[in-house]
Structure 1
């Protein structure tokens, strides 16, 4: 990852591009932040179908980087690397979706699992077992494990996806200047964090470990597999189950969080 100092060191280049539209400055910024594309595409490539090439991911990612450079306002005091990473991630996933990389049947399975976690964990107020999940879904435990494995590649989502299916507001619209947060946004932000914290507490120990290592320590799933002495496919499955649990928890409070 590019260090925070890099943004400050390139402030004059940002000025040249944003204020004077000097194309050489834009080119310099693209070259400077290209490592972000490799970083994001490498993390997203874990668990994707073999027919998805790293070159395709990088190509989509570069388009996202260029879009980020064109739209970023350096005067707002935000960190470009964070903003660009989301844009790159969104561009890659949108590009993959246009290529129909996840079959409808897989998306339907993912939705069923998410809804099942939502219903059962609200009912029992605890982490539910695979047996309870398979009973609720009316499948064997082996079939449930296969379902989880099948949806592992669909646990990424685009920043440009609508927050609610019937609305046009996207996750990107929530990236508001830290200096301009209104009270309602601050309350929602705190509530979201509390909801996620409680949901994470309900994950199994192995699921919490995977989430921590992947999102906080930024290890790849293959590296996590080595740390936990498990197979990469098992780590992918644990990650998928954790994400479905968390999505289910957020879905229960979605209306309150965004429209209360």
Structure 2
């Protein structure tokens, strides 16, 4: 059956058999999102569990989709699927308490340095925490699996009155911020990142490449990509926190 006709019939009738057809049709999208997000969680969350969580988002998207708004279902469903995965993983609080505490200390150091008018570097952050650069990088790799969740949580709490869907930060950064001033701040901060950090952000969020693909392009290990990704997000987060405090 034609896709448009399938949607037309489902919206009119809410027929469960048609809904099942739609679920089957768009399940590959759930698997795609789950596969991309799996890189953040390492062995902490099974891929099949991510697919299961994403399926909740797909069901929600199918029920709430309004074809009259001129948005493709895939675009609408992407954010719903990803949001459902984030919500489910966040509810599990899977990061060990010790690592979560270290993540907060690192984040605090980044924010403090940003407030002092400097772009945080590994050297400054490590010095402020009283650890070596090597130790800091190992911690960045460990907390990378939770960074996306904590970033989403931070944005939900801080930007609620300023922006639209949080999931767009990952799926479509160029559509993430409706407020032009905030969009310019984010763009400027991405430009201010170190070249390798900026490349990771651009390749992952804009080109939608996997960590494995990015590692191959940059000629570095996957763990190093994770470190760079975590560091870049911490810098962006601390810079945006400074902006919001103005």
Shorter-chain TM band: 0.7 to 0.9
Question: Are 2:232 and 1:239 equivalent residues in the alignment?
Answer: no
1:8-47 per-position Cα deviation (integer Å, ceiling 9, x unaligned): x622222211222122221122112111111110111114
Find the residue that maps to 1:83 and give its secondary structure: helix
The answer for unaligned runs of 5 or more in structure 1 is 1-8, 176-186
Contact kept in structure 2, 1:161 and 1:170, CA below 8 Å: no
Q: Distance in 1 between matches of 2:156 and 2:47?
A: 31
Q: Distance in 2 between matches of 1:58 and 1:198?
A: 35
Q: Distance in 1 between matches of 2:142 and 2:135?
A: 10
Say what the alpha-carbon RMSD is for the aligned residues: 2.8
Where do residues 9-24 of structure 1 align in structure 2 (5 Å cutoff)?
10-24=3-17
Shift of 1:250: 1.6
1:183 counterpart residue number: none
Where do residues 123-162 of structure 1 align in structure 2 (5 Å cutoff)?
123-125=116-118, 127-157=119-149, 161=153
Shift of 1:143: 2.1
1:71 counterpart residue number: 64
Q: Distance in 1 between matches of 2:66 and 2:117?
A: 46
Find the residue that maps to 2:179 and give its secondary structure: helix
User: Which of 11-20 and 154-163 deviates more?
Assistant: 154-163
Find the residue that maps to 2:42 and give its secondary structure: coil
Contact kept in structure 1, 2:120 and 2:235, CA below 8 Å: no
Question: Are 2:31 and 1:31 equivalent residues in the alignment?
Answer: no
Q: Distance in 1 between matches of 2:50 and 2:85?
A: 6
Q: 1:133 to 1:154 in 2, by over 3 A?
A: same
Q: Distance in 2 between matches of 1:140 and 1:189?
A: 39
1:254 counterpart residue number: 244
2:211 counterpart residue number: 221
Q: Distance in 1 between matches of 2:92 and 2:67?
A: 33
Q: Distance in 2 between matches of 1:196 and 1:147?
A: 25
Q: Distance in 1 between matches of 2:153 and 2:111?
A: 20
Task: With the length of structure 2 as denominator, give the TM-score of the two structures.
Answer: 0.85
1:60 to 45, 50, 53: 53
Q: 1:159 to 1:109 in 2, by over 3 A?
A: closer
The answer for unaligned runs of 5 or more in structure 2 is 166-176
